[in-house]
A and B are shown apart, each in its own frame.
Chain A
Amino acid sequence: GQNIDQPTEMTATEGAIVQINCTYQTSGFNGLFWYQQHAGEAPTFLSYNVLDGLEEKGRFSSFLSRSKGYSYLLLKELQMKDSASYLCANDRGSTLGRLYFGRGTQLTVWP
């Protein structure tokens, strides 16, 4: 595989904060993406990190450490509709856009 690792499942309650971690292989790194995917649907774009640091976008934030090959997605003020699979994807190699996905983290938000 492409050595992208993220937890398989997570649960949280409405209104809470959850952090989904992702580690990846650093060679040939071009950027790190997070997508949300509901069952049977296509992934939808959440964030893109290429530089170290935190990118905040509303309730969702994403962090990247290039040297550590580490990223996390932070979801605040969780809502029931946030129950989905969250995919970490690494853009690697000489051709931009070739994404290598992790298995996805299935997040369940309870009332």
Chain B
Amino acid sequence: GAVVSQHPSRVICKSGTSVKIECRSLDFQATTMFWYRQFPKKSLMLMATSNEGSKATYEQGVEKDKFLINHASLTLSTLTVTSAHPEDSSFYICSADPGQGADTQYFGPGTRLTVL
């Protein structure tokens, strides 16, 4: 099956710093990738749609200046959490859409962010 990787898998940072999370589709190209956030025992919440070669589309209530998304190639999207605060601590999961009539998007293994 299609494989999506995320790096890093875990990151701990100090409040006020920025953290970059990478999402890569390893064996397929993805024009569209998605970024989700999941708090403990809560649902995955869609944050934004990452489009290769164009600006990301953010969901209502998600600050685009805080969560910077760059989809530089057909296999890589990055999410940068700027000026992170403890309330940004969460599980961030990306997914990649193979397109071409695929039934599903494929999820990465997630990145656990802890902001001290």
Contacts and interface: CB of A to CB of B under 8 A. Distances in A.
Interface of A: 4, 33, 35, 40-45, 48, 87, 89, 95, 97-104
A98 B103 contact: no
Given A95-B57, A101-B45, A42 B108 contact: yes
A41 B34 contact: no
B32 A41 contact: no
B93 A42 contact: yes
Contact of A43 (B32, B44, B97, B112): B44
Which bucket holds chain B's interface residue count? 20 to 34
Interface of B: 32, 34, 36, 42-46, 49, 57, 59, 91, 93, 97, 103-110, 112
A42 B109 contact: yes
A104 B42 CA distance: 8
Contacts of B105: 97, 99
Contact of B49 (A97, A100, A101): A97
Contact of B103 (A43, A48, A100, A102): A48
A4 B57 CA distance: 22
B77 to A, nearest CB: 13
A99 B34 contact: yes
A97 B32 contact: yes
A60 to B, nearest CB: 14
Given A41-B110, A42-B93, A97-B97, A87 B49 contact: no
